[in-house]
């Protein structure tokens, strides 16, 4: 009986260990490629791109002024961009705040079609009805601010032929709480390191829902979606149609993140539920088309969806390492060492590339708490224990200076 248990444990270890090693190996491939990526965009002396900036907002009267003030102070000709805010099912002064800061405000009330995707789709129709000339569309979340040269970077990239561009989506004030610091680490590797590597290897950076820029004809040709993760679904549509999302590491959008795990729960559940839906719907098609076309871009997009959240990978890696210690086999210990060591290299490389402040490194001390919470959340999702409707993420109570 003991021999059978030992055999089963050994088999399970090697199956799980090999899968994890393949995941870590792929992340290290992206890490190595990222080291060779160009991280600055040569700007044009005289920008010419006309931008429409779209901001979906639901009860954002507190944070919206920060973004609108920020946008009004960009290093870009003011006559070349307009700001449009949709106050979606609001019960506060979001629309009035938008107008007071010079934005064009729209109010939308629809209790059936609720959520960011529906709001964006509706706002697009309103903008097109105005017949306002524009060359590109920017989508920003209301709880964000952007880097001063954001539009200049996008102008230069559009001028050289890029049609779908994703900015670096980072955490605003990550030093405020340890949970925000942990989220900052996650977004550094997911939103910066991996997209950099993909640009070198010929992949597509993906769309992150915030800081996205599209050539005007893209949004007219491909209809925006209203799924739980409309950005991922839209990216799938674009790459299957032959479009590639490019990464602009020097155009940054900083967004507020919940300062507690409890406040972040609805947001994380929505993201992970949507991602699982995208895996079921698109991964088989991506793999099939990628093999038929011999397209790294499509195969890489499928792999990106199949890779579990990093917290799950890390949690499983710790379990594998513990089993390796029990087995006491040199080969098993070596494999576990590669899995754990590779992830350390991956995370530290991302932090070094963005020159993360010391507070971000300190937040890593709380990783065990975050892993436990994220694994519990993921188990709930796999069991279907969550509402499927869109729920607004709770905002932090502290006021901005």
Domain boundaries along the sequence of the chain: 14-38+45-49+149-389, 55-134
Residues 6+ apart with CB under 8 A from 60: 90, 92, 94, 142, 143
In angstroms, how far apart are the furthest CA atoms of the chain?
78
| Contact between residue 274 and residue 229 where contact means Cβ atoms under 8 Å apart | yes
Report the pLDDT value the prediction gives residue 219, as an integer from 0 to 100. 93
Cα distance between residue 274 and residue 232, in whole Å: 8
Report the pLDDT value the prediction gives residue 399, as an integer from 0 to 100. 43
Cα distance between residue 274 and residue 230, in whole Å: 8
Q: pLDDT per position in the chain (401 positions), as tens?
A: 777 777 888 888 899 999 999 999 999 999 999 999 999 999 999 999 999 999 999 999 999 999 999 999 999 999 999 999 999 999 999 999 999 999 999 999 988 888 888 999 999 999 999 999 999 999 999 999 999 999 999 999 999 999 999 999 999 888 777 778 888 998 999 999 999 999 999 999 999 999 999 999 999 999 887 665 788 889 999 999 999 999 999 999 999 877 656 655 566 666 666 677 778 888 999 999 999 999 999 999 999 988 888 888 888 899 899 989 988 889 999 999 999 999 999 999 999 999 999 989 988 888 888 777 777 777 776 666 554 454 555 555 544 43
Cα distance between residue 210 and residue 231, in whole Å: 9
Identify which of 304, 213, 198 has the alpha carbon closest to the alpha carbon of residue 252. 213
Residue 115 Rama label (left phi>0; alpha psi -120 to 50; beta): left
Residues 6+ apart with CB under 8 A from 157: 41, 165, 213, 246, 248
Q: How many CB atoms lie within 10 A of CB 247?
A: 26
| Contact between residue 123 and residue 86 where contact means Cβ atoms under 8 Å apart | yes
Cα distance between residue 228 and residue 222, in whole Å: 18
Cα distance between residue 250 and residue 135, in whole Å: 21
Report the pLDDT value the prediction gives residue 341, as an integer from 0 to 100. 96
Report the pLDDT value the prediction gives residue 373, as an integer from 0 to 100. 76
Residues 6+ apart with CB under 8 A from 93: 61
CA 298 to chain centre: 18
**What phi and psi, each to the nearest 5 degrees, are found at residue 136?**
-150, 160
Identify which of 315, 369, 324 has the alpha carbon closest to the alpha carbon of residue 343. 315
Report the pLDDT value the prediction gives residue 393, as an integer from 0 to 100. 55
Q: How far apart are the first and last CA of the chain?
A: 65
Identify which of 24, 25, 74 has the alpha carbon closest to the alpha carbon of residue 51. 74
SS3 per residue for the chain: CHHHHHHHHHHHHHHHHHHHHHHHHHHHHHHHHHCCCCCCCCCCCCCCCCEEEEEEECCCCCCHHHHHHHHHCCCCCHHHEEEEEEEECCCCCHHHHHHHCCCEEEEECCCCCCCHHHHHHHHHHHHHHHCCCCCEEEECCCCEEECCCHHHHHHHHHHCCCCEEEEEEEECCHHHCHHHHHHHHHHHHHHHHHHHHHHHHCCCCCCCCCCEEEEHHHHHHCCCCCCCCHHHHHHHHHHHCCCCEEEEEEEEEEECCCCCHHHHHHHHHHHHHHHHHHHHHHHHHHHHHHHHHCCHHHHHHHHHHHCCCHHHHHHHHHHHHHHHHHHCCHHHHHHHHHHHHHHHHHHHHHHHHCCCCHHHHHHHHHHHHHHHHHHHHHHHHHCCCCCCCCCCCCCCCCCCC
Report the pLDDT value the prediction gives residue 263, as an integer from 0 to 100. 56
Cα distance between residue 388 and residue 308, in whole Å: 20
Report the pLDDT value the prediction gives residue 276, as an integer from 0 to 100. 74
């Amino acid at each position: 009986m003991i021999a059978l248990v030992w055999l089963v444990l050994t088999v399970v270890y090697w199956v799980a260990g090999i899968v994890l090693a393949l995941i870590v190996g792929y992340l290290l491939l992206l890490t190595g490629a990222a080291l060779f990526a160009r991280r600055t965009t040569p700007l044009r002396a005289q920008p010419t791109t006309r931008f429409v900036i779209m901001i979906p907002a639901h009860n954002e009267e507190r944070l919206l002024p920060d973004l609108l003030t920020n946008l009004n102070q960009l290093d870009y000709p003011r006559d070349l961009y307009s700001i449009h805010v949709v106050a979606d099912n609001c019960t506060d002064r979001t629309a009035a705040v938008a107008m007071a800061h010079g934005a064009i405000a729209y109010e939308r009330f629809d209790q059936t079609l609720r959520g960011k995707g529906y709001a964006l789709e509706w706002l697009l129709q309103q903008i097109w009805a105005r017949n306002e000339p524009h060359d590109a569309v920017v989508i920003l979340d209301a709880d964000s601010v952007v880097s001063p040269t954001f539009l200049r970077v996008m102008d230069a990239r559009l001028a050289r032929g890029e049609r779908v561009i994703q900015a670096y989506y980072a955490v605003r004030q990550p030093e405020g709480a340890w949970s925000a610091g942990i989220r900052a680490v996650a977004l550094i590797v997911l939103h910066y390191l991996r997209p950099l590597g993909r640009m070198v290897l010929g992949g597509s950076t993906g769309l992150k829902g915030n800081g996205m820029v599209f050539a005007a004809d893209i949004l007219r040709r491909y209809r925006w979606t209203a799924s739980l993760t409309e950005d991922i679904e839209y990216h799938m549509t674009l790459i299957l149609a032959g479009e590639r999302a490019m990464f602009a590491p020097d155009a940054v959008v900083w967004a507020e993140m919940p300062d507690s795990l409890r406040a972040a729960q609805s947001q994380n559940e929505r993201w992970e539920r949507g991602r699982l839906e995208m895996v079921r719907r698109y991964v088989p098609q991506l793999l099939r088309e990628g093999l038929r076309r011999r397209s790294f871009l499509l195969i890489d997009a499928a792999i990106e969806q199949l890779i579990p959240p990093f917290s799950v990978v890390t949690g499983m890696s710790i379990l594998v390492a513990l089993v390796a210690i029990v087995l006491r086999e040199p080969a098993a210990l070596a494999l576990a060492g590669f899995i754990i060591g590779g992830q350390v290299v991956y995370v530290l490389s991302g932090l070094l590339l963005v020159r993360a402040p010391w507070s971000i490194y300190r937040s890593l001390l709380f990783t065990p708490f975050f892993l436990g919470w994220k694994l519990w959340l993921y188990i709930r999702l796999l069991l279907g224990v969550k509402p499927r409707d869109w729920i607004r993420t709770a905002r932090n109570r502290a006021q901005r200076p």
